[in-house]
Structure 1
Amino acid sequence: MVFVVVGLVLVGALGLLNLALSIAIVRRLRRQEEQRRAIAPDASSGPEVGTAVPAFTAPTLGGKVFASASLAGGTAALSFITTSCGACDEFVSEMPQFAAKTGLDDSRIVVVIAGEQGKARQMADHLDGLATVVYEAAPGDISSLYSITATPTTVITDAHQNVTATHTGTKPHLQELPA
């Protein structure tokens, strides 16, 4: 009987310790979020409107090499998604509507997919004929160049490769396109 009581006391003590640690973690996360908001209250994903987009060269999932310089001379859209993002699946399913509404062909729409390669290929299959698909093993060099902090994010550029709009989320920002 003594062992049962000692066991229950130990389990109770562990439960209280777990609760105390959980509360401490939540408080710390809240404090960090408040500090982040104080530093950058309206931090958005993607480069600032009006800035020139960084140049990059990367392999496509089709095995070709894509150079961002090929987007000069007209409006273009660069979208950044990840394979682990639920909203990115919805984004991919809405891409035909976006392509039709903008009138941009697959050479003017670039989708950078980061994450697991098998899932990236599945997503790319849905984008075939709609976009050029570039693959990153994880959000890396290209995402960093473009200051991507959330997915899906789309960056719209003009003929001079300056950012005219950025949008984070699904329903690709049709209202933000230049007229």
Structure 2
Amino acid sequence: MVYLSLGLLLLGVVTALNLVLILAVIRRLRRHEEERKQQGDTFENIPSGPPVGERVPEFSAVAVDGTRVGSEALRGREAALTFLSTGCSACVAAARDLPEFARRTGLDVDQMVVVISGEGPEARTMADPVAGVARVVLEERDGPLSVLFAVKGTPTNVMVDADGTVTYAEAGTHPVLDQLPA
């Protein structure tokens, strides 16, 4: 009987301690979220990519279909670059939205570049929805294109005008698609 009482007392103490720790974590997460909101760092407006108004960085890469893509090929017309990663659940939805984005913007396969960072079959699976809609480039995590374009979060969308100037660069689920007319 003594062991049962001690066991129940110990269980009660551990449960109370667990409750205190959970409440402390919740309080810290709420404070962290308030700090992020005050700084304007919500997920939908994380600055990511080259600064708006600057020229798109010079780059060259080979797409999965063997086509060479680069900054020179994008000049002379509007273009879109999307950076995705295999470790990002929002990137899966963003990849599925890219065909609709292409339809609504009128961009063809040569005007859209999708860079997927990550290894393994997940990268190929993520590339499937955009096959025929965009040139897909696969690279390792924090690969050369992601570093060159200063990608801080995925998915990141970069819009470029005909002169090669960045007109939009931001991370978010699909912020550009949300701003387009139906």
Q: Same fold (TM over 0.5)?
A: yes
> Percent of aligned positions with the same letter in both sequences?
41
**Equivalent residue number for residue 177 of structure 2:** 173
Residues of 2 paired with 1:37 and 1:54: CA distance?
31
SS at match of 1:155: strand
Residues of 1 paired with 2:11 and 2:154: CA distance?
42
Unaligned runs of 5+ in 2: none
SS at match of 1:23: helix
**Equivalent residue number for residue 86 of structure 1:** 89
Give TM-score scaled by structure 1 length: 0.77
CA RMSD, 1 decimal: 3.0
1:87 to partner: Cα distance: 3.3
Moved more, 39-48 or 110-119: 39-48
1:156 to partner: Cα distance: 0.8
1:29 aligns with 2:29: yes
SS at match of 2:109: coil
**Equivalent residue number for residue 161 of structure 1:** 164
CA offsets 1:91-123 (integer angstroms, 9 cap, x no match): 222322222333322221011112343111012
1:3 aligns with 2:3: yes
Residues of 2 paired with 1:14 and 1:139: CA distance?
42
| Number of residue pairs the alignment of both structures matches | 177
Give TM-score scaled by structure 2 length: 0.76
Unaligned runs of 5+ in 1: none
Aligned partners of 1:82 and 1:113 also within 8 Å: yes
Residues of 2 paired with 1:114 and 1:71: CA distance?
21
